[in-house]
Amino acid sequence: MRQNLSLYLHLMRMQVRTRLQYRANLVIGWVAQAFGYASTYGTIWIIASRFEKIGGWTWPEVSLMLGFHTLAYSLGALFTLVQLRAMEELVRHGTYDTLLVRPVSPWAFLVFSGINIEYGGHISLGIGMIVWALLHLGVDWSFLTILQFALSLISAALLSGAMLTTIAALALVLTRSRYLFGLYFDFLEMSRYPLGIFAVPLQFLLLSVVPLGFMGYVPVAALLGKPVPFIGEAAPFAAILAGPLMVVVAMLAWQACQRRYQGAGG
């Protein structure tokens, strides 16, 4: 266990050092990503300013949700997205077979050897929006509130990585999975908005089958004391438990798909 942990840390250090060889490109990438997301959120700000509220949420409240959502997504994706989105190619070209003979978990090797620090722009933007929103909302902080916020953020980050892992695992059985990532990002886009603007079936979908509502909406609604459909007063606990539960699902999915993996030749 200790040896594996040392190996994972070594893989991460190597990847980070490689990325830092081109610092100027890295910073430019951070800025470009931040501006890209900021322009999208600017459109939401225009809508909120025009209609005063979106689904009963003011702009500072929406800003807090967007910042929370962006930060949680980026913390989960920096370990998973780039590496696991390439699972289709790894399987089709037989590269994944070479990972099976290594003395470490294929998933762990992919995740820790491919950590993507290019999410710095997302992280900076998310933190900035959270800070700005909290300064304008006057949240009544207490030890329990701070703990709830922190645990909900960790849970949302785990949810982000776990969902990407689950989708990638399907490539071991289906061979192709890129279209599933496309569907994931469609739902991820919808989860940036208050769920109240969607029809009831879609609200249920984003809180159950595709639980991306827990990436930002549910944790922030619980913090602000807003009603959450289908969950009600259990929202604070659900926001904390959603991520760990999705991790269990992802682990089971990966193990099940790997048992059914037949190699590049079928």
pLDDT tens digits, 160-191 = 999 999 999 998 888 877 889 989 999 999 99
Percent of the chain with pLDDT over 90: 48
Tell me the whole-structure pTM to 2 decimals.
Answer: 0.90
pLDDT value at position 194? 92
Domain that holds residue 165: 2-259
Does 266 reside within a domain? no
Q: In this predicted structure, what is the pLDDT of residue 93? A: 84
The answer as to whether 123 is a domain residue is yes
Judge whether 12 lies within some domain.
yes
Query: Does a structural domain hold residue 264?
Result: no
* Residue predicted with more confidence, 102 or 239: 239
Number of domains, the chain: 1
183 within some domain: yes
| Lowest-confidence segment of 17-21, 133-137, 253-257 by average pLDDT | 17-21
Is 18 a domain residue?
Answer: yes
CA distance 265 to 155: 38
Tokens, residue 216:
């930002």
Q: Is 230 helix (H, G, I), strand (E, B) or coil?
A: coil
Find the helix packing angle between 143-174 and 235-259, rounded to 10°.
Answer: 20
CB crowding 15-35: b at 16 or more within 10 Å, else e: beeebeeeeeebeebbeebbe
111 in a domain, yes or no? yes
The answer, yes or no, to whether residue 42 has pLDDT greater than 90, is no
Poorest-confidence range of 31-45, 90-104, 179-193? 31-45
Lowest mean pLDDT: which of 32-46, 192-206, 247-261?
A: 32-46
CA distance 155 to 219: 9
Whole-number Å distance between alpha carbons of 113 and 255: 20
Q: What local confidence, expressed as pLDDT, does residue 3 receive? A: 67
Closest C-alpha among 246, 254, 223 to residue 157: 246
Q: For the chain, what is the mean pLDDT?
A: 87
Task: Check residues 46 and 233 and name the one with the higher pLDDT.
Answer: 233
Both structure tokens of 36: 């890209």
Q: What percentage of the chain exceeds 70 in pLDDT?
A: 96
Residue 31: pLDDT over 90: no
Report the SS3 class of residue 57.
strand
Q: Is the per-residue pLDDT at 1 higher than 70?
A: no
Q: Phi-psi region for residue 54, left (φ > 0), alpha (ψ -120 to 50) or beta?
A: beta
120: in domain: yes
